[in-house]
Amino acid sequence: MSNNQFRKGELYSFITGKASIAIARRLQKKFNTAGLNLTIEQWSVLYHLWKQDGISQQELCNATFRDKPSITRLVDNLEKLQLVKRVSSDADRRMNLIYLTRQAQKLQEQSMGIAEETLNEALEGVPAERIEICKEVLQIVYDNLK
């Protein structure tokens, strides 16, 4: 069954992820305004470390859907900002375990608050059950393609 649900302009929006780009831009602006010297991509790495500290770069790749070079460089930059530290694993010396610094721990609450605020602005006026359906559809899309 081919489902040609998309008129041309809508096809374009879906492929380009217009909505998520708008969310990311708004979040970045809020970070800047708040004086958080952090890119969204860097934040997304910290996000997973706040959930579980001391995971490997490979685990960060899986969690953030990025390839290894991308994580290498994001960790490079986070290290320069003194927000994380690479510690090579005793158990497997190929692995780097990535640990948050004190400074990064302090950023969690504020930045997560800003992220929630941004999502609330994005979804203002959308009934909960429609948000739920949207989330489910996007999850299926991801599962279909992964």
Partner DNA sequence: TTTGGTTAGTTGTATAAACAACTATATGTC
Partner DNA sequence: GACATATAGTTGTTTATACAACTAACCAAA
| Spatial distance between the Cα atoms of 145 and 70, rounded to a whole number of angstroms | 21
Window of 4-12, 26-34, 108-116, 128-136 that interacts with DNA by CB under 7 A: 26-34
Instruction: Kindly list the residues in this chain that would bind its own copies in the complex (CB under 8 A).
Output: 2-6, 8, 10-27, 40, 44, 47, 51, 64-65, 115-116, 118-126, 128, 130-142, 144-146
State the angle between helix axes of 68-80 and 57-64 in degrees (0 to 180), rounded to the nearest 10.
Answer: 110
Number of residues this chain uses to bind DNA (CB under 7 A): 30
How far is the first Cα of the chain from the last one, in angstroms, to the nearest whole number? Answer: 21
Length of the chain: 146
- Tell me the closest approach of the beta carbon of residue 47 to its own copies, in angstroms: 6
Tell me which of DNA, its own copies, none is bound by residue 52, counting a contact when its beta carbon lies within the kind-specific cut-off of 5 to 8 angstroms.
Answer: none
What CA–CA distance (Å, rounded) separates 43 from 31?
A: 10
The whole-angstrom separation of Cα 1 and Cα 4 is 9
- Pick out residues in 70-129 that bind DNA (CB under 7 A): 70-75, 77, 86, 92-97
Q: Which is nearer to DNA, 61 or 119 (CB)?
A: 61
